[in-house]
Structure 1
């Protein structure tokens, strides 16, 4: 049998094997769509406009086709910027793969409208609202001007610089000897008590309170001057 006849004989067989091999691989688009849908749902509550880009899944993968795909990320992973997303197959043959994706968030933030000095109390005229990619800015960039107006700057700031929460010293809402409401909450209940604050605290800072019965507890100062106890 000459070379031409051999080729004619084996070509359909080889083509069939290639077709079977291609069918045996996991279809990449299904994996990519699973990741995209997962990220769209998980980022629905983020501020601003969210843009998601998923890197292509290997078209030459050797994974068996899956009927049930499930995307996941480890606990406490922030879906912000570049992230790795896992995809597991639950049936018929278990396997796990990882894709990288980029979550870009675009929205409004605040920057210094002019040079600001350390210790300066911020006024609305000191702030300028800008639009941009929040995922390319410091994580604690200020998104709400009402939360920083009246606060002091820890250090100086040049004009046009993004304003960060870590650069802000919020006014104290609790002072030593102040009568405060101490509140503990849980599933289906709220318990309130009263006491006297033992230290100064701005919103979000820890404050120690001596309750009316003499016991001392620690909680988080709230913007209204009350104290929230932890779980």
Structure 2
């Protein structure tokens, strides 16, 4: 009887020691990764749209993107540039995503603009009035040059250079001064206009000014006015 009782106890123990397996939660699906080629295409399309108004042959080249970059796939990535960034030459384009995961990447790019530009065909002295015979049209990538390159001879003819220029130097608008239309001490006609009135009188110019520049004049009564210089010794004052 004792042996039989022990067997029953062992059998009961085996039933109670059956292992209990806890249910494991299902693994979350992995997020799809962003295709770098899509980012490159978004940046390229953005720069092409931004440079569409530029004159000349425009070529957009987007730099390489790290193929091992691991960011979540975005259904609508958006390209942008920082305020004040150049849209030509060497530049940087940002591409960002807001959902389902927010991220931002920056991509280097080059926008080349090949067009005609104006250069000197002879050396020019500072203050020398520029004639068309002293200029030549050349062709090149102006994106590699400073801002304000002159692309039309009409922008330079009749103006004076504020610096001495060697032959073959590209002209820049910020180094050119317009022909003076008002000179210091000159008797000018001041035209004042406002809401419902227009008055003209004579005054004496206090300084020199090119067409479109602001100049001060002194009236016979001693009042000092500021106006815009115009051709023919005219100064316009708007109230």
Structure-1 residue corresponding to 2:26: none
CA contact (8 A) 2:189 2:235 kept: no
Aligned equivalents of 1:68 and 1:142: distance in 2?
40
Whether 1:31 and 2:29 are equivalent positions in the alignment is no
Tell me by how many angstroms 1:79 deviates.
1.0
Match of 1:171 in 2: 179
The alpha carbon displacement at 1:34 in A equals: 0.6
CA distance in 1, matches of 2:217, 2:33: 63
Deviation at 1:165, TM superposition (A): 2.2
Matched, 1:94 2:102: yes
- The Cα of 1:77 is off from its aligned counterpart by 1.5
- Match of 1:15? none
- The answer as to 2:56 corresponding to 1:45 is no
Q: For 1:67, which of 69, 72, 75 is the aligned residue?
A: 75
Aligned partner (choices 143, 146, 152) of residue 154 of structure 2 = 146
Comparing 215-224 with 64-73, greater Cα deviation is found at 215-224
Q: Which residue of 1 aligns with 2:122?
A: 114
Query: How far has the Cα of 1:119 moved from its partner?
Result: 2.7
Larger gyration radius, structure 1 or structure 2:
2
Counting matched residue pairs gives 202
- In structure 2, list runs of 5 or more residues that go unmatched: 1-28
Change (3 A) 1:226 1:161: same
Q: Displacement of 1:217 after TM fit?
A: 7.4
Q: CA deviation at 1:73?
A: 0.6
Structure 1: gaps of 5 or more residues: 1-19, 185-189
- Contact kept, 8 Å, 2:190 with 2:237, in 1: the verdict is no
More off after superposition, 131-140 vs 158-167: 158-167
Distance 2:70 2:33 in 1: 5
TM-score in terms of structure 2 length: 0.69
